[in-house]
Amino acid sequence: MKYVILTLFILIVLGIATGFYVRIFEEDLKTGDIIIGISVLTSCFIMMPLFIYHRWNGKKLEDYTLSPKNIKKMKDRGLY
């Protein structure tokens, strides 16, 4: 999963760079904007969910919420 996310990130950065290259040096604004837009959409709707799933896989959400049990632990430790 780590290598899929890294490869996807590199492809997105290359896509954005290609889009700006097309916009600036070839002066084709419409095609450059389309390439940049597809790259940004790919980063938002494909890469970000994969990254979030990869980072949260196997972790308990209970450890990161403020439940009465966790608030009691914080009071006992002097953090709250």
Proportion of the chain above pLDDT 90, given as a percent: 68
Report pLDDT digits (tens) over 8-21. Answer: 999 999 999 999 99
Tell me how far the alpha carbon of residue 8 is from its chain's centroid: 11
pLDDT at 80: 63
Ordered mean pLDDT values, 10 residues apiece, the chain (80 residues): 96 97 94 97 97 90 84 81
- Mean pLDDT, all residues of the chain: 92
Burial classification of residue 19, based on how many CB atoms lie within 10 Å of its CB (0-12 exposed, 13-18 middle, 19 or more buried): buried
In 3D space, the residue among 47, 48, 21, 45 whose CA is nearest the CA of residue 33 turns out to be 21
**pTM to 2 decimals?**
0.76
